[in-house]
Structure 1
Amino acid sequence: MELFEKESLNIDDLQVWKKDALEKFEAKMVDKEQRFPCIPATQGHSLNHLRYGFVGDPREVSSAEELANLLSAYTPQSKNYGKYTSLIIFYETPADLSKTSVEEFEQMFWKQLSWASEFDSIEWPENIPVDPHDSAWEFCFQGEKYFMYCATPAHQNRQSRYFPYFMLAITPRWVLEKFNSSPSLAQKIKSNIRERITHYDSISIHPDLNSYGEEDNFEWKQYYLHDDDSALSKCPFHRMLNTMKREE
């Protein structure tokens, strides 16, 4: 699998769906009238710190293996890409998924993470609990801690979580730590992000949005937000520890 960067990518060489996904993502990042809420994401885009990858159908185990390969390529190089870097993953999203609900996409999301974890060649970090219901848990791959963001074609009320293709934005924890290294600036940007969300979405900010490190914060609840204020009571992520017992 190949990682791409915006400035060196010849978009006309891509398959139609890949070209369409990139063009729609670009439009979302540069829209000045309806400004995308995540300010660091728009900065990462404008500075060419983001990297991109394409994988197959989100229902398939093979797509999770492709995701794992992209993460394996991205992780050791991420600190060379810039302080606002994230890995943007676009999934091929066939027409027969057009009627898929937010909740059904949610199950695909967690299966993709669980399956991808099975292809990780490095052990889970010792200082990170394996139980998502521990407030210190976060998704890890190749020894790196990551924050996950998922957008789907099914989201309507939360346009901040809408994208015409099933999509992941994967941000290393070190990026977020740098962002938070200046508490006053970070708080100002977070306030601006929340203000943008209120204008971007037609629904109030989800109650599960919180800050990493807080005792009442659970990262997994923020990875995938419902299109209302509801949430799962239990995290579906399951590390299979290379048992190869997948639910097809």
Structure 2
Amino acid sequence: MGVVFEKNWLDQHLPSLPLWQQNAFKDFSLMIADEANTFPCIPARTGFLSNQLRFSFIGDPRELQSAKALATCLKEYGYCARSAGKYTSHAIFFETPKDMLENYEVEDYRALFWTLLNNVTVFDEKEWPREIPSDPSVHTWEFCFDGEPYFVFCATPAHQLRKSRHFSTLLMAFQPRWVFEDINDTTVLGQKLKRLIRKRIDLYDAIPGHPDLKWYGQKDNYEWKQYFLSDDEGHSPSTCPFLRGNLQLTFPKERNN
């Protein structure tokens, strides 16, 4: 058995998994398939209902071993992503212990998120794609792993007002850049989806849509700012914390052993 799972497999075998993994997948299913309070991201909802999303489970995100596990998951997903469908993405649930749930604030999760992205690149065996700038301050930059560019999404237990970024565990989702070939600001489908998604966000969240939400390729857009959104109406860091291959051994609010 690999480390990347299909929804249909999980639906059938969920009781065989550890309890925290069962709960994480159940919470995700309830959130994204809710008919009464529709999740804003239409492609993600479509991908889930049509068995195109893929899932992985990783332990405590503060452990270096978890970054190595994340690298293994992303590499395996890269092998199967194109056969999964045009609405695919890779949702990864991290075991989030009680001390994190009780003590971590949004900014702690932000620091942890970027630490994970920095650390996972230590295990990347391929060169950075030539067509993607390595400098996050360039508007066409995107996170890459194993030669594949990804849009990265993060949700945390600490987000409350921005419900679209709230989840019961630390959740990271990786969406291949090629998924957006027909969904961007230059296509009719992309323009329609943008309007629908923004409308749903306004209904779903307790605060207005974040001003950093823009289309890839726009000169005033920076993808890294969209990966982790604040739980207020517009705060975002002035510089990107991403440093490829920069191994970080200190995590925010480390456990007291």
User: Which interval holds the TM-score relative to the shorter structure?
Assistant: over 0.9
Question: 2:137 & 2:209 partners in 1: Cα distance?
Answer: 22
Which residue among 136, 140, 151 is the counterpart of 1:132?
136
- For the Cα contact (< 8 Å) 1:83–1:178, is it kept in 2? no
How far apart, CA to CA, are the structure 1 residues paired with 2:9 and 2:60? 26
What is the Cα deviation at residue 178 of structure 1?
Answer: 3.0
Q: What corresponds to 2:85 in structure 1?
A: 82
Letter in 2 for 1:59: R
8 Å Cα contact 2:70-2:120 kept in structure 1: yes
* Structure 2 unaligned blocks of 5 or more: 251-257
Q: Residue 235 of structure 2: which of 230, 233, 237 is its match? A: 230
The yes-or-no answer on 1:20 pairing with 2:35 is no
2:177 to 165, 169, 173: 173
Q: Per-residue CA shift, 1:169-204, capped at 9, x if unaligned? A: 110000111333971121111101000000100001
Q: Secondary structure at the match of 1:230?
A: coil
Q: Which amino acid in the other structure matches residue 32 of structure 2?
A: M
**How many residues get paired?**
245
Q: Which secondary structure state, in structure 1, belongs to the residue aligned with residue 182 of structure 2?
A: helix
2:55 to 49, 52, 76: 52
Structure 1: distance between partners of 2:32 and 2:194: 18
Contact (CA 8 Å) 1:75, 1:144: kept in 2 or not?
yes
Equivalent in the alignment of 1:6 = 7
- Matched-pair contact (CA < 8 Å) for 1:85–1:175: yes
Aligned equivalent of 2:255: none
Contact 2:118–2:244 under 8 Å retained in 1: yes
In the alignment, the residues of structure 2 paired with residue 186 and residue 224 of structure 1 have an alpha-carbon distance, to the nearest angstrom, of 22
Answer whether contact 2:88 2:179 (CA < 8 A) is retained: yes
- Maintained 8 Å contact 2:117/2:242: yes
Partner of 2:211: 207
Aligned counterparts of 1:213 and 1:126: Cα–Cα separation in 2:
16
Cα-to-partner distance string for 1:186-225 (whole Å, 9 max, x where unaligned)? 1111101000000100001111111100111100000000
Identity rate, percent = 47
In structure 2, the partner of 1:145 is 149
CA distance in 2, matches of 1:77, 1:45: 16
Q: CA RMSD in A?
A: 1.3
**Structure 1 residue 60: deviation in Å?**
1.6
In the alignment, which residue of structure 2 is the partner of 1:196?
A: 200
Displaced runs of 4 or more, over 3 A = none
Task: Show the counterpart of 1:93.
Answer: 96
For 2:104 and 2:185, the matched residues in 1 are separated by 40
Residue 164 (1) aligns with residue 168 (2): yes
The 1-side partners of 2:82 and 2:186 are apart by: 19
SS in 1 for 2:111: helix
Amino acid at match of 1:58: P
Question: Secondary structure of the residue that 1:179 maps to in structure 2?
Answer: coil
